[in-house]
Structure 1
Amino acid sequence: MKTIEVTDLPPVNDQSTLLVVGKFDGLHLGHQQLLNAARSARQEGEEISVLGFSDHPLWVLKGDSDYEKALSSFQDRRQLLEQAGVDRYYHVHFTKEYAQLTPEQFVHEHLGQLQISRIIVGEGFKFGRGRNADTDGLSKLCERNGIEVTVIPHVTFNGEKVSSTKIRSLVTNGNMEAAQGLLGRPFEMTGIVEKGEQLGRELGFPTLNLGDIEEYVQPFPGVYLGVVEVHHDSANAHYYSLISAGYRPTVNGKTYKVEAYLLDFSGDLYGKTVTVKYLRFLRGEENFNGLDELVDHMKQDEKNARRILGLANTR
């Protein structure tokens, strides 16, 4: 898949293109439905392209901190789109200046660069200055250029529209099973294993410290059952894990960190790329009365995890 950074007009494209437009944060079930429709509608000689935005408009335009972080990093989105069969990804750097484009400028000047045969958008799509144009407006503007517009209805789950906003709320409240239902896969973070204070190793629970995760929404502070995928040049390795996300009050932690204890693993993962996948919330973060009480709870967490997974206890 070719990735094209768009900071102004996108470059001219001479290949017939079926374009899918959306935010694509998390590539949840709704986004997957758009891409399924694109694959079904694709004709011979057409490329499937996605035009997605770097940041949420509510963060860029209004500074709403609820939308500063994302469900998926830029690299996550690239990988997921490529796996979905996308040929080109136009990564639009959404800025206050970009938000001032009129609907006519967006369609005729920006999309006009791409030799689009068809456009697929989701129900409720709005665009242009002040988000004043909707799917009807898009259809009318595209009709002048002979471009067909297909609008895909909202995907619902238990009668509620699937949205990145809803999933973000579930993650920040620790509702990982519900988030997985709407994403179609576990909520996950990919980063680099950094060297920490090695306190976990001293306590008998060596953990990896996940770095380079600043883009992600922060899960509710607590302990989770999950999976860690270790990326290798050949086949990746997977381990059931206990994930600790939060501020570590028992050891006077000040910053939010994500650590993972891999069940039945020993070795050194420093510098490795790993993906931490959250399956289930076990308990909230607590401020224990010293390290002995902390270790007792960590042992109980491991017993609970092994019971849930059907794994033998080793302690």
Structure 2
Amino acid sequence: MEIIEVTGKPPYNKEPLTMVIGKFDGIHKGHEAILRTARQYMDKENDTLAVMTFSDNPLWVIKQDPNFKRKITRDIDKFDLLERFGFERFYRILFTKEYARTTAETFVLEHLSQLNVKRIIVGEGFRFGSGATSSTDALIGLCKQLKIDVIVVPSIKESGTKISSRHIRALIEDGLLEPAHSLLGRPFTITGKVVHGQKMGRKLGFPTINLGEIDEYVEPKPGVYLGVVGIHQNDVITEYYHVLISAGYRPTVKGEGYLVEAHLLNFSGDLYDKTVSVSFLRFMREEVNFNGLDALIEQMEQDKQDALQLIGQNE
């Protein structure tokens, strides 16, 4: 994946491009419909498939709305997913308050004109330009001046509700993993490096891996989850294990800050400094401030037995 950082006008390009434009947080089922449409045109025309998106959610940059600071998928996750659809180029616009003043006319007639774009594919609700006041109709009209075709992909609905990143983020934050998975088309997954912690889990008889480098991700509701961890080897996942995930603030041991740690079932070994991907499959219980470590250990043992029963490996 070729990554091109854009701080104003994109660099001139002469290769013919089929381009999708949008935030694409999560690469959910609605996004996949847009990506598949673009792929169909690439197969016919042999264009280079490209994505244009923002470095940050505009609602975070402009309004400092904390609900949009975190992401379902970081860019590094997006690259992998987009490559599976055949995309080769990623234009990442550094979105700032200054860039937010870019008008629809400037964006199309001055910025996109730098690129040899043959067609643009966007979702039905696409908005752009200063204040996000311009719709797909405006995009079609402006692109017509540059002889760029615009294809608008209808919104995808599930159970009568439009699939959106905002809705999926809310589900994850509420611990509703199953409906979030249904809209994403895959489990919610975070990828990070295993870091050294206080080794409290090991002292309690439940050694865990602590994940670092995950501050950008949406935070699942504090609690205990059943999940799966994939262990990376040279950027490829080579091993999978079921895990018991603890996400939250660890009040019983006076934890500081939100932490994700996972106890691997049926595993022994050292994973420090390894990159791992932890997928949240099912919410099991709320985070509890127990009256002492003995009560915590007893509940952790029960959690483990419940998890083993769910995966059909009763001890």
For 2:280 and 2:94, locate their aligned partners in 1 and report how far apart those are by CA, in whole Å: 29
For 2:187 and 2:281, locate their aligned partners in 1 and report how far apart those are by CA, in whole Å: 6
- Superposition deviation, residue 73 in structure 1: 1.1
For 1:53 and 1:138, locate their aligned partners in 2 and report how far apart those are by CA, in whole Å: 18
Query: Which of residues 267, 290, 293 is equivalent to 2:292?
Result: 290
Residue 24 of structure 2 is matched in structure 1 by 24
Residue 239 of structure 2 is matched in structure 1 by 237
Residue 306 of structure 1 is matched in structure 2 by 308
Residue 267 of structure 1 is matched in structure 2 by 269
- Superposition deviation, residue 304 in structure 1: 0.7
RMSD over aligned Cα atoms:
0.9
The range that moved more, 278-287 or 230-239, is 230-239
- Superposition deviation, residue 94 in structure 1: 1.0
Q: Deviations over 1:99-129 (max 9, x none)?
A: 1111110001111111000000000111001
Residue 179 of structure 1 is matched in structure 2 by 180
The 1:235/1:225 distance shift into structure 2, 3 A limit, reads closer
Residue 10 of structure 2 is matched in structure 1 by 10
Aligned residue identity for 1:181: S
For 2:54 and 2:199, locate their aligned partners in 1 and report how far apart those are by CA, in whole Å: 39
Residue 131 of structure 2 is matched in structure 1 by 130
Q: What TM-score, normalized to structure 2?
A: 0.98
For 1:274 and 1:235, locate their aligned partners in 2 and report how far apart those are by CA, in whole Å: 8
Residue 246 of structure 1 is matched in structure 2 by 248
Residue 70 of structure 1 is matched in structure 2 by 71
Aligned residue identity for 1:13: N
- Superposition deviation, residue 44 in structure 1: 3.3
Aligned residue identity for 1:158: S
For 1:108 and 1:246, locate their aligned partners in 2 and report how far apart those are by CA, in whole Å: 48
For 2:154 and 2:168, locate their aligned partners in 1 and report how far apart those are by CA, in whole Å: 19
- Superposition deviation, residue 189 in structure 1: 0.5
Q: Deviations over 1:167-188 (max 9, x none)?
A: 0000100001111111110001
Residue 114 of structure 2 is matched in structure 1 by 113
Percent identity, aligned pairs only?
52
Residue 155 of structure 2 is matched in structure 1 by 154
Residue 141 of structure 2 is matched in structure 1 by 140
Residue 227 of structure 1 is matched in structure 2 by 228
> Are the equivalent residues in 1 in contact too, given 2:231–2:237 (CA < 8 A)?
no
- Superposition deviation, residue 235 in structure 1: 5.3
For 1:253 and 1:89, locate their aligned partners in 2 and report how far apart those are by CA, in whole Å: 39
Residue 281 of structure 1 is matched in structure 2 by 283
- Superposition deviation, residue 254 in structure 1: 2.1
- Superposition deviation, residue 97 in structure 1: 1.0
Give the secondary structure class of the aligned counterpart of 2:189: strand
Aligned residues between the structures: 313
For 2:118 and 2:167, locate their aligned partners in 1 and report how far apart those are by CA, in whole Å: 33
> Are the equivalent residues in 1 in contact too, given 2:51–2:87 (CA < 8 A)?
yes
Residue 61 of structure 1 is matched in structure 2 by 62
- Superposition deviation, residue 19 in structure 1: 0.6
The range that moved more, 231-240 or 110-119, is 231-240
The range that moved more, 240-249 or 76-85, is 76-85
> Are the equivalent residues in 1 in contact too, given 2:230–2:237 (CA < 8 A)?
no
Q: Deviations over 1:14-40 (max 9, x none)?
A: 110001001011111111110000111
Residue 206 of structure 1 is matched in structure 2 by 207
For 1:99 and 1:79, locate their aligned partners in 2 and report how far apart those are by CA, in whole Å: 28
- Superposition deviation, residue 45 in structure 1: 3.0
Say yes or no: does 1:100 pair with 2:101: yes
